[in-house]
């Protein structure tokens, strides 16, 4: 049975700035999709392609904390440098993914990579926040730098393009990301008339974002920069590219636990939020210049 589309959400009218380096459109939760409805996903920010221009100043977001969830940054155009208080650092380039588990608390910062910043050019990214279940919110912070060459590669029939499997599995091809709950993240690079069909559990909360191009999803037209939310009915999803298109498909098994969030902290109770703030103020998240 085909998965039923619940809603198609157009790109929000206004972009917001995260620091001075990320010009984002927020789909989760500000487009009316509650965190509980789309669990385990807590947030989706889309930096639609934008040319920031050359700069000697490194644009980005300076040191800030996180606790209780994971951040996943997917690079489509441009390059981002990451540093955190667990001693991790790295650069993600187009096709790469940065998967940071904040766990029990971490400080990090993200900036346009130095050479990219100097030359300028199109910058296009997605950042997701993925919740952790209560039993894993206190894990030690860690980082997965998932380069493009490590992704599971699923070539499509009839020169239809390729699907990069970041997390989860499609048609026997697995992604490299290690996750705490079942999650699928599929980066589709479709040629004109390319078709991708997959089966996603009806129990998963499932959505997709059209990064570039125009597609049909289960025979329904979906325009560029639109976000499709599926009902928990049916399993089959067929994406047909009307032109060369890039599409991000995400699904995950819901975490049936309370969500209490305060800025960069996501826990299960108000008391845990107060504890997280106290731990941060006491320097328990480490140190980062």
The pLDDT value recorded for residue 229 is 97
How would DSSP label each residue in 232-273? Answer: SS--EEEEEESSSEEEEEEEE----S--EEETTEEESSHHHH
How many Cα atoms sit within 13 Å of 86 on the Cβ side? 20
Per DSSP, 21 falls in state: T
Radius of gyration, alpha carbons of the chain: 18
Both tokens of 193, joined, read 């008339």
Lowest-pLDDT choice from 24-33, 39-48, 91-100, 233-242:
24-33
Sheet with 220-222: list strands edge to edge.
Answer: 195-199, 236-241, 215-217, 220-222
The DSSP symbol for 156 reads P
Distance in angstroms between the alpha carbons of the first and the last residue of the chain: 53
pLDDT at 115 over 80: yes
Q: What is the pLDDT of residue 62?
A: 97
d(CA 190, CA 177): 22
Res. 8: pLDDT tops 90: yes
Residue-wise pLDDT tens digits, 131-161: 999 999 999 999 999 999 999 999 999 999 9
What was the pLDDT predicted at 228?
98
Chain segment 30-66, per-residue pLDDT in tens: 877 889 999 999 999 999 999 999 999 999 999 999 9
In the predicted model, what is the mean pLDDT of the chain? Answer: 97
Q: How far is CA 147 from the centre of its chain?
A: 15
Q: 121: which residues sit within 8 A by CB, 6+ positions away? A: 51, 77, 78
Q: Is the pTM of this model over 0.95?
A: yes
> CA 2 to CA 237: how far, in whole Å?
6
Dihedral pair phi/psi, residue 151, rounded to 5°: -65, 150
């Amino acid at each position: 049975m085909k998965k039923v589309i619940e809603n198609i959400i157009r790109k929000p009218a206004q972009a917001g700035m995260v620091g001075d380096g990320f010009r984002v459109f927020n789909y989760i939760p500000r487009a009316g999709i509650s965190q509980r409805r789309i669990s385990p996903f807590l947030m989706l920010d889309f930096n639609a392609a934008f040319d920031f221009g050359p700069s000697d100043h490194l644009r980005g977001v300076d040191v800030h904390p996180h606790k209780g969830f994971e951040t996943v940054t997917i690079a489509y155009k441009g390059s981002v440098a990451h540093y955190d208080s667990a001693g991790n650092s790295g650069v993600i380039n187009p096709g790469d993914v940065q998967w940071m588990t904040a766990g029990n608390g971490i400080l990090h910062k993200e900036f346009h990579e130095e050479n990219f910043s100097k030359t300028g050019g199109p910058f296009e990214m997605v950042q997701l926040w993925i919740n952790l279940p209560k039993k894993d919110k206190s894990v030690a912070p860690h980082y997965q730098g998932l380069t493009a060459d490590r992704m599971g590669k699923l070539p499509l029939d009839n020169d239809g393009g390729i699907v990069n499997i970041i997390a989860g599995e499609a048609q026997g091809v697995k992604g490299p990301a290690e996750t705490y709950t079942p999650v699928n993240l599929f980066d589709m690079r479709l040629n004109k008339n390319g078709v991708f069909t997959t089966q996603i559990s009806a129990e998963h909360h499932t959505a997709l974002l059209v990064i570039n191009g125009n597609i049909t999803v289960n025979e329904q037209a979906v325009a560029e920069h639109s976000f499709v939310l599926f009902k928990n009915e049916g399993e089959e999803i067929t994406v047909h590219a009307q032109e060369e298109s890039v599409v991000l498909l995400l699904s995950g098994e819901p975490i049936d636990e309370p969500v209490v969030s305060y800025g960069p902290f996501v826990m299960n109770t108000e008391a845990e939020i107060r504890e997280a703030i106290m731990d941060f103020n006491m320097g328990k998240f480490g140190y980062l210049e």
